[in-house]
Chains A and B, each alone.
Chain A
Amino acid sequence: MENFTPWMSLAGGALLGLSAALLMLFNGKTAGISGVLAGLITPKKNEVSWRIVFLIGMVLSFLLVAPFAVSLPDISGENIFIISLAGLLVGFGTRISNGCTSGHGIIGMGRFSKRSIYATLTFMFVAMVTVFLRGLLGGL
């Protein structure tokens, strides 16, 4: 439990909730990241520019937190093959199930959507099992 950071995590979570509420209340759009991205791969009229600008905001957000001495972690030690396989699974799975941790986990759950509650329980459970199995295999 030495890495336990409940206050930072709570504050970060509040920012995510604020962002999702702002985008939906003012622009009527859903801040689900897999959905924002998928909408650029199959572009529709009037559905492109806000997505690009939203993603640019995300990429530039490190500037917003830099004054608070918070920065991105170094992940260069990760195994690129495992990461690539994971990327394929994440892209495929979120597209088929129409949402990810943000779309289902925050917005859908917040709306008390039955689909999102089932999806969130499913991906949480499978992710925990995956980590458990990898632990059994000695971190392969």
Chain B
Amino acid sequence: MQKSKFINLIISLVSGLLFGAGMIVSGMVDPNKVIGFLNVTGNWDPSLAFVMGGALAVFTPIYHLFIKQRQYAINGEELTLAAKTKVDSSLITGAAIFGAGWGLAGFCPGPAITSISAGSHITLAFVVCMIVGIMIANRYLAGRFALPFIGYNKT
């Protein structure tokens, strides 16, 4: 393995470790806490607003000061950023479907992956179903079936 590739993988590993640690420390891995945050009309626990606040407080300045003007990352590879800029119906529909699932379980992808190490069958069921959901979505994106309201994927 080339040295540069090895360093890339170390950066990925460290990022993954920090990300998972952030998920655990912040309380995002606790579905009850997530539901407590989403339950704005009940016994509301605003803690998780601080997660997004803390994340944005660190990421936003680093992005705008050090990353935005770069075309290439420090390892010499091109920055792969989401290219789409248009707000379309599949963005909103997808986000709404995701929101329904997040509200039902109190689990989103990051905390679910982080929790795998606890070995619960609940986490495994969620992750397996999430992967199946991604596969079904890939078939929708390939134009194989229609969704309510927005129909077939045209792009």
Q: Which residues of A contact B (CB under 8 A)?
A: 1, 3-31, 33-34, 37-38, 41-42, 49-51, 53-62, 64-65, 68, 70-76, 78, 80, 82-111, 113-116, 118-120, 122-132, 134-135
Chain B residue at smallest Cβ distance from A91: B133
Per DSSP, are chain B's interface residues mostly helix, strand or loop, or mixed? helix
A17 / chain B contacts, CB cutoff of 8 Å: 54-60, 62
Given A76-B122, A83-B105, A135-B41, A88:B46 Cβ within 8 A: no
Given A17-B57, A50-B8, A87:B101 Cβ within 8 A: yes
Q: A4-B45, A41-B138 are in contact. Are A27 and B77 (CB under 8 A)?
A: yes
Q: Contact residues of B with A, CB < 8 Å?
A: 8-9, 11-33, 35-36, 38-60, 62-63, 66-68, 72-75, 77-82, 84-87, 90-105, 107-110, 112-118, 120-123, 125-138, 140-141, 147
Query: What's the least CB distance linking A29 to chain B, in Å?
Result: 6
Given contacts A37-B109, A76-B122, A98-B94, whether A15 and B131 have CB atoms under 8 Å apart is no
22 examples of A-B residue contacts, CB within 8 angstroms: A4-B47, A8-B27, A9-B51, A12-B27, A14-B54, A15-B19, A16-B51, A17-B58, A17-B60, A22-B14, A33-B109, A54-B13, A61-B24, A64-B17, A76-B121, A78-B31, A87-B126, A92-B94, A92-B97, A96-B140, A113-B85, A120-B95
Which 6 A-B residue pairings sit nearest by Cβ, starting from the closest?
A: A57-B16, A91-B133, A12-B26, A13-B54, A61-B20, A97-B94
Q: Could you say which of B90, B98, B103 has the most chain A C-beta atoms within 10 Å of its C-beta?
A: B98
Say whether B103 contacts A130, CB under 8 Å: yes
Give the nearest-CB partner of B140 in chain A: A96
